[in-house]
Structure 1
Amino acid sequence: MADQLLSRAALLRYWRTELAGIRQGAVAKAVGVVSPTTIHNWETGRTDGPNLRQLAALDEWFGAGGALRGVYLALRTPDALLPAEDWWCNFQGEPGPCWAWLRVSGARPSTAHVEAGPLRVDCEIPVESGLFLQAYAFASNPAVHARIDGGGWVDFGHGILPSTIGAPVVDAVDVAVVGPRGELDQALVAASKTWLPHWKYQGDSQWFFTMRTDLGRRVEVAKKTLLAAAKAVVSTKSDVSSAAASLEDVPRHWGGERYRALRQARGLSLLDTAELASEADMSLPPVTKDHVHRLERGAMPRVPQLVERLDAVLGADGRTCTAEVAEIQGAGRFTEITFPVYWVGPVWVQFLRAGHAHDHSATLLWSPWHKRLDVRDGVVVTTRRSEPAMPPLRVELQPGWRVRAGVGVHPRAVDVTEGWGLISREVGFPALAFYFSVMERAMRAPRRT
């Protein structure tokens, strides 16, 4: 493994000396520390590294575009999170360059399958430093889904990675494919057949480059076809009525020691973590260093939504908690579920028989999308909340049913993320048009140097 990916200290030294070419004194002044000795100590590991404000200042001063901050926080993920096959990310903010860092858990290379809507990349991950997959634009929905055969770790970040980062960097647009594959999102692929005509390029070894050029020439024509594509995007029903169900409660959170390990793996102090958690929802009581410290020592949370907020700010994507939400309101056949405003990631809904029920169907509605289900008593389904601005989740229930709901990874949940359809062509067209504009931007973006 390259030195700069062995430790946070080496990463800081590499970025300053080999990429930015700036002396320690100038860096000290830029980030507001007293002496260049502080920078020296960060880069040799003699003291803890920069706090979040200082890290952001370093990233900006070096012109890293978020890449330094992202790699710095991701460097020690394997020290705190268990390896897994599936990883997701709903990128937030204005569409721009982004990346995924894929690492294997074993001593042999493995294969990764990364999907973003109708696009898919299959790549081999080397051992040790892994592989970076670089893209040039993103949408918050659908989520990027990475699957590693045999398990591993995937971190996601913003910016454009330097080619000398210390692991292979692959441009996703060079190797992405469109079209049928296992476990595909039927709705998005149906739309892609209209506005990404992959059938036209069969037999052309350079088909993706040809398609990208054609889209550049015929952007207005392609955009007009979105209206027709919306007709193809319909909800596919998921039958979860035979899935395993249980009415037993699940643990609300990991346990304190693992929160401490994840915080330290991210390079965050107690104060950094408390401030980030407080900023997640200013309407809630603030989180203090003591709250975080006590939780890490095994005490019960003493402030509302502490574990949920910690999961969010530590970038765990729901892996540390299975917390029930209280804001569930019913109005006739519709039940409205309000999730925490800051939450982006997995959410779950449990269907419970509340009386005599003849009809076992239900519909999840998250404008402009909906998903139809066949359910049974006690079954839990999971999907993802893609951004903080999303409205409450509405559930259309038949008589005799009620729901519980929460955030985080529920161990018994059936994933129903795929196969959502547009509620109507009129409300769905802007969503498809925006997604097309993101893909167009990714294809046309200047290449990494």
Structure 2
Amino acid sequence: MTDQLHRRPALLRWWRTEQSELSLEDLAQSAGVSRATMHNWETGQTDGPSLQQLAVLDDRLGAGEVLHDLYVALRTPDALNATPKWWRNFQGESRPCWAWLRVAGTQPGAARIDAGPFRLDCEVPAGEGVFAQAYAFASNPAVTVEFDRAGWVDFGYGVLPAAIGAGVIDAVKYAVIGSRDRPDHALVEASRTWMPSITEFGGPDRWFDTIRRRFGRRVEVARHFVTTSARTVVSTGVDVSKADASREAVPRHWGGDRYRRLRVARGFSLADLAQLASEQDPDLSAVTKDHLHRLEHGSTPRVPQLVERLDMALGADGRTCTAEVTTVQDVERGVEITFPPYWIGPVWVQFLQSGRATEHRARLVWSPWHKNLKLCDGVVVTTRRSEPSNAPLRIDLTAGWSVRAGVGVHPRAVDVNEGWGLLSRDVAFDTLTHYFKVLEAAFRNSPDGSRT
């Protein structure tokens, strides 16, 4: 494996020597440390920089967040289990972003990346893997990566250097719109006239050039497609009445040593992780180094939402905990569930038949989206929260049903994250207009792009 994609000290040194003209003294002065300390960081003789120092180094080296995010991502395989499927809801202002795909074992693999109506199929070499580079994003829907076998995916921001040490695929150039095994019906249907089919574009290696020629500076043509598409509002339902169901409790969180392994793999000190966890929700009591030390050695400190905040701080996307929330409030014709405001990632709902139910149906409403379900007693469904928010998930229920809910990966949950419908044509228009703006930015920022 390329050294800078294997060892953090080598990554720091490679970035300074190959991607900048800064001396050890220059960079050390920027980080507020001695030349000897900087040398030790680059040779691995001491622990690396703190997260605050790493952010300073990233900025001084002009890395545009890439160095910071790669540094954190390098040792993911040391602490997270390889799985076939990974997700990410990118956050904040739309900007360049990337995914780093690695497969388990010594043989190459294949992966499919879905982002709304767009799909990218790629080969994944063994070892250093491959990067997919995009130039804009929407927070919802999530970017989904599915391997043909188990692997790992890390996500980050910025534009990767061409000489990073692994292949880099331009997602803007090679993504397609086409049929999928499990299509996002609402977005695919709404984009049929917004973006012509991949067949019309002449193949996956030519669609970007075709769009550029067709639209050019006349963005009103594309906006007309968006307006036309908004007339189609698709609402889909899911039958989960035959799914495996149980009222048994689920594991709450990882054991202590696994937290330590993931913290070390991320390059975080106890102080770094305590600060990151506390920043998730400043209204809750702070997480301290002592809390983390005790957790890593097998005890569970009584700190509100400790494991939930740690999961977000560690970038684990719900893999470290399955935690129940207590904020389920009865409302007219159903319930409203409020999840922690900082939580981004998987949430789950369990439906419990508490009496003689006349109907086995429910409607999920998470504005501007909605979805219908056919139920059985004890079934658990999971979807994703795409952005930090206080907006509740509303569930319309008939008599005889109650719910439990929580955050994290639930081992028995049925995934209902795809195929939600938009609540109205006006909402559809606003949503697709937003996606079009993201697409414009992707074209504009791509190396092959032209002004639109």
How does the TM-score come out when normalised to structure 1? 0.97
Between the aligned partners of 1:202 and 1:224, the Cα distance in structure 2 is: 19
Between the aligned partners of 2:123 and 2:412, the Cα distance in structure 1 is: 31
Tell me if the contact between 2:244 and 2:379 (Cα under 8 Å) persists in the aligned partners.
yes
Match of 1:288 in 2: 288
- Moved >4 Å (runs of 4+): 202-205
Tell me if the contact between 2:230 and 2:425 (Cα under 8 Å) persists in the aligned partners.
yes
Between the aligned partners of 1:103 and 1:318, the Cα distance in structure 2 is: 20
Which one is further off, 119-128 or 216-225? 216-225
Percent identity, aligned pairs only? 61
Q: Does 1:231 align with 2:194?
A: no
Deviations 1:240-287 (A, max 9, x none): 011000100011001111111000000000001001111100111100
Match of 1:173 in 2: 172
Deviations 1:217-254 (A, max 9, x none): 43212213323322323221000011000100011001
Tell me how far 1:202 sits from its aligned partner: 5.1
Tell me how far 1:380 sits from its aligned partner: 0.2
Tell me if the contact between 2:339 and 2:390 (Cα under 8 Å) persists in the aligned partners.
no
Tell me if the contact between 1:188 and 1:233 (Cα under 8 Å) persists in the aligned partners.
no
Between the aligned partners of 1:5 and 1:210, the Cα distance in structure 2 is: 35
SS of alignment partner, residue 56 of structure 2: helix
Aligned ranges 1:293-332 → 2 under 5 Å: 293-332=293-332
Between the aligned partners of 1:31 and 1:270, the Cα distance in structure 2 is: 20
Q: Does 1:356 align with 2:376?
A: no
Between the aligned partners of 1:443 and 1:389, the Cα distance in structure 2 is: 29
Q: Does 1:98 align with 2:107?
A: no
Tell me how far 1:203 sits from its aligned partner: 4.2
Tell me how far 1:65 sits from its aligned partner: 0.7
SS of alignment partner, residue 194 of structure 1: coil
Q: Does 1:255 align with 2:255?
A: yes
Match of 2:146 in 1: 147
Between the aligned partners of 2:430 and 2:146, the Cα distance in structure 1 is: 30
Tell me how far 1:206 sits from its aligned partner: 2.4
Tell me how far 1:119 sits from its aligned partner: 0.6
Between the aligned partners of 1:448 and 1:58, the Cα distance in structure 2 is: 29
Tell me if the contact between 1:301 and 1:307 (Cα under 8 Å) persists in the aligned partners.
no
Which one is further off, 414-423 or 384-393? 384-393
How many residues in Structure 1 have an aligned counterpart in Structure 2?
448
Between the aligned partners of 1:144 and 1:222, the Cα distance in structure 2 is: 23
Which one is further off, 419-428 or 336-345? 419-428
Tell me if the contact between 1:227 and 1:425 (Cα under 8 Å) persists in the aligned partners.
no
Between the aligned partners of 2:427 and 2:171, the Cα distance in structure 1 is: 30
Q: Does 1:271 align with 2:271?
A: yes
* C-alpha distance 86-265 of structure 1, shift in aligned 2 (>3 A): same
Tell me how far 1:185 sits from its aligned partner: 0.8
Tell me if the contact between 1:160 and 1:448 (Cα under 8 Å) persists in the aligned partners.
no
SS of alignment partner, residue 120 of structure 1: strand
Between the aligned partners of 2:217 and 2:26, the Cα distance in structure 1 is: 46
Between the aligned partners of 2:329 and 2:423, the Cα distance in structure 1 is: 22
Match of 2:193 in 1: 194
SS of alignment partner, residue 41 of structure 1: helix
How does the TM-score come out when normalised to structure 2? 0.97
Match of 2:83 in 1: 84
Tell me if the contact between 2:234 and 2:422 (Cα under 8 Å) persists in the aligned partners.
yes
Q: CA RMSD in A?
A: 1.4
Between the aligned partners of 1:173 and 1:268, the Cα distance in structure 2 is: 33
SS of alignment partner, residue 402 of structure 1: strand
Between the aligned partners of 1:191 and 1:336, the Cα distance in structure 2 is: 29
Match of 1:23 in 2: 23
Match of 2:386 in 1: 386
* Structure 1: tracts of 5 or more residues without a match: none
Tell me if the contact between 2:382 and 2:414 (Cα under 8 Å) persists in the aligned partners.
yes
Between the aligned partners of 2:201 and 2:21, the Cα distance in structure 1 is: 47
Tell me if the contact between 1:215 and 1:440 (Cα under 8 Å) persists in the aligned partners.
no
* Structure 2: tracts of 5 or more residues without a match: none
Deviations 1:45-99 (A, max 9, x none): 0000000000000011111110000100000000000000000000001001000
Tell me how far 1:391 sits from its aligned partner: 1.0
SS of alignment partner, residue 187 of structure 1: helix
Between the aligned partners of 1:360 and 1:214, the Cα distance in structure 2 is: 49
SS of alignment partner, residue 68 of structure 1: helix
Between the aligned partners of 2:168 and 2:410, the Cα distance in structure 1 is: 34
